[in-house]
Structure 1
Amino acid sequence: MDVVELLGEIAEIGRDPVRGGYSRHVYEPAELELREWFRRKSAGLGLEVETDRNGNIWAHWGPVGTGTIAIGSHLDSVPGGGAYDGPLGVASSLAAVSALMDEGFVPAQPVTVAAFGEEEGSRFGIACLGSKLMAGAIPGATVAALTDDTGVTYAEACRADGIDPAGLGRDDERLASLGAFVELHVEQGVGLADLDSPVAVASSILAHGRWKLVFSGEGNHAGATRMRDRRDPVAAMAAAVLAAQRIASAHDGPDSARATIGRLTPIPGGTNVIASRVDAWLDVRGDTDPQTRALLEEILEASHAAAKEHGCGLEVTEESYVSTVHFDANLRERLVEALDGVPVLATGAGHDAGILAAEIPTAMLFTRNPTGVSHSPHETASDEDCRAGARALTEVVRILASEPR
């Protein structure tokens, strides 16, 4: 199997005619089609395919047992996302296993390819949901009750893939079976482009979280309400967006600081209507927990001030938070050595590998993205670099799976 050809097979699945790129959300038709594609390709390699109780899919090479070397990524996307974020890691994993099989390689330890569910959080609002459930980072009952924008609960949605929501939750048996997890991902930045290298190993993931901001004002008529009489939550929200941009930019120097309000829902949303409420989602990231929390507090202070200035109220709810992740140092160094000293880079993007790092030795490989653009239809990676990433992953599996239990 060739990674480029594998990506070509799914290139038409989930195309978004409005946003461009792809919209492949968990348990919706496009993502379900990708799940079936993954199962079919894995079975074609002779792998034993299993869907766990949290909706993550595993394709096993060899008998399931302790010390299993896991590789993989996710298949879902953000709304209007690129072709590589997630599927590149899954396709590269299939290509790596295929290459080793063609060589006649016999792993001394079991190998499994994973496709995690709801990594982006685009349908139910919580990123890395499949890995968080598996690791017990979020209660199964809490996840089952989550609803999407149409009112469908996670419990209802997961049944579309045969998942019983009563079984959602920490999977101690599976965690105990894994000896390591290595996730390959397209780089979401220009680090490799700047270094002129096709592949890198990850060092860490910035601390990051999501908060829901609800600005409440007074709905009214756009033509009949004087400007001085308005309590417009859209105006308050706009001021908060600019404040977040200004504050994060002031801190983004030697230390990393990121703040984004990328999703907004005005209610009722009419052209000639002053909204009564605006729901907004704030994403904040930083090098360390104290830095990230301090940045958040400064942004929220400015947001509350903006709400007050416009006669509005503001309620803030933390939806998720992940502390700074430092990948396993020993595993990282083994990967760097195996790949002839490739660069080591930190990332500001969250990943399933970051969730599992608290449970098992975990590492990541990045494949070069020449523009650094991601979460966008303009996300890119050359065929040559995709193949270089798959070859790197092949070497990693060869080394890790060669060691006896």
Structure 2
Amino acid sequence: MWRDLLPIGRDAATGGYRRSPFASAERECAAWFVEESTRRRLDIEFDGQGNAVAWWQPDKAHNSAVPATQPAPAAPNGILVGSHLDSVGNGGAYDGPLGVISSFAAIDRVRELGVVPTKPIGVALFVEEEGSRFGVACLGSRLATGRMDPSAAAQLRDGDGVFLGDALSDAGLEPDLGRSAMLDGVGSFVELHVEQGRDLVDRGRPIAVTSASWAHGRWLFDFEGEPNHAGATRMEDRHDPMLSYAMTALAADKQARLAGARATFGRVSVEPNA
């Protein structure tokens, strides 16, 4: 499975991955997900924002003929595993795909052992988890769980001005933003994720179970100033917004360190940038 995914969306110059949501590389990954689900004769279900769940129903033999699109389990006792396949710009190979591939591998192993589950098991594929295109992290899962207003999501645009609904349509999907019924039968969700810091290395541990997760927030700061001549304008006459930005970044860094928290300035756009 890794061999199939590794070349998709990889930047030859940097070795990183560019799998922007609903663009060609990410859609190729989504097609791979459907192919792997079909190969295992799982029941694939999609929602109106492009999320997918491939269900292994306990009352259905895994060697049945052709998978059918069936509703999720009615009772909230299903076990959901999986992750996402989109990436940030120049992202890593394991961020997201590890959770999806390991889920398929786990089902394969359980079947090899002859174990038949007593609860439905679903492999999830959530879209736009990184927030790299529309600026909202976990967008697909937020919409699917009803944690984001569909009308607000419909107004989201990417850097080129493309609305979310248009991006879905351009990718061959039928937009229907909002809470997803396919998650109604989920009782628990488990995601295997690559460790992206060095905590496990420092502890000398290969794996760990998280007890909490950092709250994820994004803010947009707009600093306004006045462009002027770099040589002729006296320092006391300048109104440079980059100084305000620099002081804000330093203050955020200081407060994060004092609180044992995190603070990152990930993107800066300067106009006129002359």
Q: TM-score, normalised by structure 2?
A: 0.88
The one-letter amino acid paired with 1:188 is Q
Q: CA deviation at 1:10?
A: 1.2
Structure 1 unpaired stretches of 5+? 1-5, 274-405
Label 1:221 to 1:84 Cα distance change in 2 as closer, same or farther (>3 A): same
**Equivalent position of 1:58 in the other structure:** 53
Q: Partners in 2 of 1:17 and 1:262 — Cα distance?
A: 23
Among 232, 237, 245, the alignment partner of 1:237 is: 245
Contact 1:19 1:79 in 2 (8 A): no
Determine helix, strand or coil for the equivalent of 1:169: coil
Partner of 1:267: 271
Q: Distance in 1 between matches of 2:226 and 2:240?
A: 6
Q: Aligned letter for 1:183?
A: E
Quote the residue 1:141 is aligned against: 151
Residues 143, 227 of structure 1: alpha-carbon distance in 2 compared, 3 angstrom cutoff? same
Contact 1:47-1:60 within 8 A present in 2 as well: yes
Structure 1 position 45 matched with structure 2 position 55:
no
Aligned-pair Cα RMSD in Å? 1.8
Whether the 8 Å CA contact 1:13–1:34 is kept in 2: the answer is: yes
Partner of 1:200: 208
- Structure with the bigger percentage of strand: 1
1:35 corresponds to 2:11: no
1:103 and 2:103 aligned: no
1:180 match: secondary structure: strand
Alignment coverage as a number of residue pairs: 259
C-alpha separation between the residues in 2 aligned to 1:155 and 1:54? 8
The answer on whether the counterparts of 2:45 and 2:182 sit within 8 Å (CA) in structure 1 is no
Give the Å deviation of 1:104: 2.5
For the 8 Å contact 2:23–2:171, the answer to whether it is kept is no
Mapped partners of 1:7, 1:154: distance in 2: 30
8 Å contact kept, 2:79–2:188: yes
With CA pairs under 8 Å and 6+ residues apart, which has the higher RCO, 1 or 2? Answer: 1
* Aligned partner letter, 1:170: R
Alpha-carbon distance in 2 for matches of 1:225, 1:11: 52
Is 1:216 the counterpart of 2:224? The answer is yes
CA shift for structure 1 position 218: 1.4
The SS at the match of 2:211 is strand
Counterpart-to-counterpart distance in 2, 1:53 and 1:43? 20
Alignment of structure 1 residues 263-302 onto 2, 5 Å: 263-269=267-273, 273=274
Q: Where do residues 4-403 of structure 1 align in structure 2 (5 Å cutoff)?
A: 6-17=1-12, 20-62=15-57, 64-65=72-73, 66=75, 67-165=77-175, 167-171=176-180, 173-252=181-260, 257-269=261-273, 273=274
Distance 1:18 1:245 in 2: 31
Q: SS of the residue aligned with 1:72?
A: strand
In the alignment, the residues of structure 2 paired with residue 170 and residue 220 of structure 1 have an alpha-carbon distance, to the nearest angstrom, of 50
CA spacing shift, 1:9–1:106, aligned 2, 3 Å:
same
**Take 2:230 and 2:160, find their aligned partners in 1: how far apart are those partners?**
28
In 2: Cα distance, 1:92 partner to 1:23 partner = 21
2:68 maps to which residue?
A: none
Greater percentage in helix = 1
Moved more, 129-138 or 198-207: 198-207
CA contact under 8 A between 1:78 and 1:120: conserved in structure 2? yes
Instruction: Extract unaligned runs of 5+ from structure 2.
Output: 61-71
Alpha-carbon shift at residue 136 of structure 1 (Å): 1.1
Can you list the C-alpha shifts for 1:209-250, whole angstroms capped at 9, x where unaligned? 111101111133444544333212122212221222222223
Give me the identity figure in percent: 48
